[in-house]
Structure 1
Amino acid sequence: MDDRQREFLDDLLTTASPSGYETAAQRVWVDYVSEFADDVRTDEYGNAVAVLEGGDPTVAIAGHADEIGFIVRRIDDDGFVHLGRIGGSDKSVSKGQHVTIHGADGPVSGVVGQTAIHLREEGDDGYDDVREQHVDIGVEDGESARDLVEVGDPITVSTTIEDLEGDRLAARGVDNRVGVWTAAEALRRAAERDVDATVCAVSTVQEEVGLQGARMVGFDLAPDAVVAVDVTHAADHPGAPNDRTGDVSLGEGPVVTRGSANHPVVVDAVREAAESEDVDVQLEAAGIRTGTDADAFYVQQGGIPSLNLGLPNRYMHTPVEVIDASDLDAAAALLAGFAELAGEYEEFGVDLS
């Protein structure tokens, strides 16, 4: 990952994009892909598609731009802001956090209140539901609070990007800014190779609240195949339930998912590309569903051959998600190779003859 690619990743990670409020992050993505795409278009909800024109087939590489967060549910007369959830926000990590409320007139800083350990009842170590938690923005009454924020404003945890040892970094919202980074980078590298196929990089919205953007894009775009790039659980840290996650590790390469939505021909094509690009891949099983945009893409337009490609991630849905940047680079190289290989396919359907 060179300096420009890292700058792009940092810009994505530092731009708030809770589900339903992705516009600012989508602008970052569109500005980047516009440098090398033949065409960039957006729809009414902010899904973005960058196209590299070529011949048949058309393959799409997609990530989702939205992150989990909170929303202003109500403001009480004492000026405290009461929370609602955006997506799968974790009530066990929200208390005691610095947060930013993204108001119409600019960001407002606050903290999620937590009763001091000295004042809690002995044995009272449970986690309040998010709806029972509040943000203190430092005002004295409700009128002062309502001058700054209003019901429906999105909220994100205020964290920085921290470089760890080696190629590893920690940040909020890695899920799934790393996916849209990979989609954009795969398109850039496909452009450098002048691949024969038509390649679409896609940045969807509202994945965290029901895969909604992928439903819109899949129906409208109708590619011949799509790879949905999203994070997947790394099981290489203390406390990870390996019986639920499989044996995925950071730094060992992207993860090819098999089963359910994952079309066997696309699986084989991506694994063939990995071999030709000398990219190590890991395998993951999804016997029922992937939990990613692949689940929405594959049921559009009578069935779009789809694959979920995973990027190993520790501590998902916390403010300190950890990834290895080498996995991102490997995934981008792999998918550029897939785009090049795709020109050899007339179709990706299974052969029943």
Structure 2
Amino acid sequence: MMLYSLGSNGNYQLGLKHEEDISKPEKVNFPEQPKRIACGGNHTLILDQNGHLWACGDNRKLQCCQTFDDVIVDELINNLKPLKSDYIHEFQIANRKQWSMVAAGWEFSVLVGKDRRTVWTCGAGPHGELGQGEVGGSSLTKIMIPYLNQNEIILDISSSVKHWICVTNQGNVYGCGDGRKGQLGPVVPKMTNKVQFLAKVEHAHKVCCGLQFSAFLQETGRVSILGGDRWNLSEECMRWQDNNPKLSSLIVDISSNWSTLSLLDSNGRIYAFGRGDRAQKAHTVQNNAQTIAGGSEHNIVQTKSMEAYIYGWNEHGNAFNEDRQDVYQAKNLRLPGAVTYVAAGYATTWIATENE
């Protein structure tokens, strides 16, 4: 496996030792196949296939998920030390626990325990993002979701700049943070620094968060949205679903930018709603998409032929244009080896491939 990154790197968030923005993929020193990559404003978290969490980038607010135990000797992780540095230049294992899911916001991180019932947060939460009450910042701390019943587990979690949300196997939606634009639903008109029950979305199994909205994919292919009034995102998506029920029933995945929501159907087609001023909706990969990952305002697509295409906002080179111009025609990264995973963050892009 090879892992590549490109884009914004002023805080070492690409895991490349140096801090230069780059517009061409560089190899990252990472030994495992990523299960999930979560990108914060200037930090990056990788959950590997064994459930171990790796971190790099800005750690000044403790957002890289460390605990302050003494040196730990473990059969799998030898001589693990707390991540005390302000900046983590290369990926290091962040703690000795095992995790099932990970999400990241501007200066905070959210982890779901191996049991898929406990949630831990760390970093800075000026808008209540940590869910720890009146706490401005914190190292990795367990928080309770008091509403979970004994048969309830978390299916998915997502975060944006100032809020995060999770959805359970019973269709219950929980979250905290900034709710001023409706992204936490009518239960939270402003903000909450405690995890709240937000909504019931029957048969929801996937959630993604934009800057001012939260979207849920149901097993029927229906997409439900909290917030999204700005740029007519919610109205545009709802109208398309109502007018195209057969196409809507084929939706198998969703992804979000700060201001755009993308839907992927089982035939490999992408439909996008919301803002489009930075090429966020300018995909030209038709009938061949297998996975789509949304960053701040750019997208990367893994195709059924195991290639990676990218388009959208490109100020930091994150969309593979050296001239920093936005990418309106999806570009093939043409990496050696079959693409096995793609992810995108705050002007960063990540691609895992099989060894060539």
Is TM-score (shorter-chain normalized) higher than 0.5?
Answer: no
RCO higher in 1 or 2 (8 Å CA, sep ≥ 6)?
A: 1
Greater share of residues in strand: 2
Q: TM-score, normalised by structure 2?
A: 0.25
* Bigger-Rg structure (1/2): 1
Q: TM-score, normalised by structure 1?
A: 0.26
